[in-house]
Amino acid sequence: MSIASHSTAPGANLLFEHYCEEPGCQEWGGFGHSPSPAVPTRWWCWGHFPYKTYEQEQAFRRKLEASERGPAQ
Ligand SMILES: [Zn+2]
């Protein structure tokens, strides 16, 4: 058995994988929130992200609808 293909490049350990922190959720945590630089950022998927604003949600919905309709041009 070899794990030679596993990345050992410098800095690889710094690439922090952050999935949604909601228990049982397997989504990628693409939406982070931290109240201050001293507090580690917490991550959620869009569906569980508790800090989204009404405007953000509307913008996200427009983006979703646009992608469902296909290219705008
Ligand atoms: Zn989630």
CA of 29 to the centre of ligand 1 (A): 7
CA dist., res. 12 & res. 19, Å (int): 17
User: Residue 4 pLDDT more than 60?
Assistant: no
Judge whether 42 and 19 are in contact, CB under 8 Å: no
Residue 44 dihedral angles phi and psi, to the nearest 5°: -140, 160
Residue 13 — pLDDT band, cuts 50, 70, 90? very low
What pLDDT does residue 33 have?
Answer: 92
30-46 burial: b if 16+ Cβ within 10 Å, else e: ebeeeeeeeeeebbbbb
Q: For residues 51-55, give the mean pLDDT.
A: 91
CA of 23 to the centre of ligand 1 (A): 8
Beta bridge partners of 44: 31
CA of 64 to the centre of ligand 1 (A): 17
CA of 43 to the centre of ligand 1 (A): 9
